[in-house]
Chain A
Amino acid sequence: DAGVIQSPRHEVTEMGQEVTLRCKPISGHNSLFWYRQTMMRGLELLIYFNNNVPIDDSGMPEDRFSAKMPNASFSTLKIQPSEPRDSAVYFCASTLDGISYEQYFGPGTRLTVT
């Protein structure tokens, strides 16, 4: 299996622009997670989907952030408008719920907002 795939790997954008991060989970996994990692705040869970349905979005910082999972093989995290404080590494992870609870992480997208 190819593992969790994220794109782009790096994104540099200007403040105010829309940013869309993409994730393809491992085939057959039914839970998907978006995380944000910064030096100041560490690893934060943003949102958690199960069977394509958002279960917990309490970690989403504010209305500028939105996430979708239109089908079992694709998810997006959108930031509109972006701000410099959104600069971070964003990870997507997936798992097969109820089996081992081991989450498989993608390589991350490094976002820089100038």
Chain B
Amino acid sequence: GDSVTQMEGPVTLSEEAFLTINCTYTATGYPSLFWYVQYPGEGLQLLLKATKADDKGSNKGFEATYRKETTSFHLEKGSVQVSDSAVYFCALNRETSGSRLTFGEGTQLTVNP
């Protein structure tokens, strides 16, 4: 079945550091890929997405590129801020699964001033 694997957390960085959170997936066909973010006390919200190979999703300084050859969708940001502290979830959707998303386990990011 479909699965998403994220790098283990928690991740702790200093402000302005470079961020990478690794995400790899297993799925048949050509899934769409997503990164969701969950700020403390809130629900998940979409951060960025990519729907086909080599697409790059970007938002709020975050980027991720859909790499079909390595089945990966790593999240990056060049300079993190304290306000980026949150839990980040990688997810995939296969059209044949309807609207269902398969989520990774989440990665807790803490950015210190």
Contacts and interface: CB of A to CB of B under 8 A. Distances in A.
A and B pair up: yes
B45 A101 contact: no
Nearest to B106: A42
Contacts of A45: 100
A95 B45 contact: no
A104 B44 CA distance: 8
Chain A facing B: main interface SS: strand
Given A43-B106, A91-B43, A105-B44, A31 B89 contact: no
Interface residues of B, number: 19
Interface of B: 32, 34, 41-46, 49, 89, 93, 95, 98-101, 103, 105-106
B43 A50 contact: no
Contacts of A50: 98-99
Given A48-B100, A101-B95, 14 more contacts: A33-B99, A33-B100, A43-B44, A43-B89, A93-B44, A100-B49, A101-B32, A102-B34, A102-B46, A105-B43, A105-B45, A106-B43, A107-B41, A107-B42
A63 to B, nearest CB: 23
A57 interface: no
A55 B98 contact: yes
Interface string A26-62: 0000010100000000110100101000011000000
Nearest to A97: B99
Contacts of A4: 43
A32 B63 CA distance: 28
Contacts of B106: 42-43
Contacts of B93: 101
Nearest to A107: B43
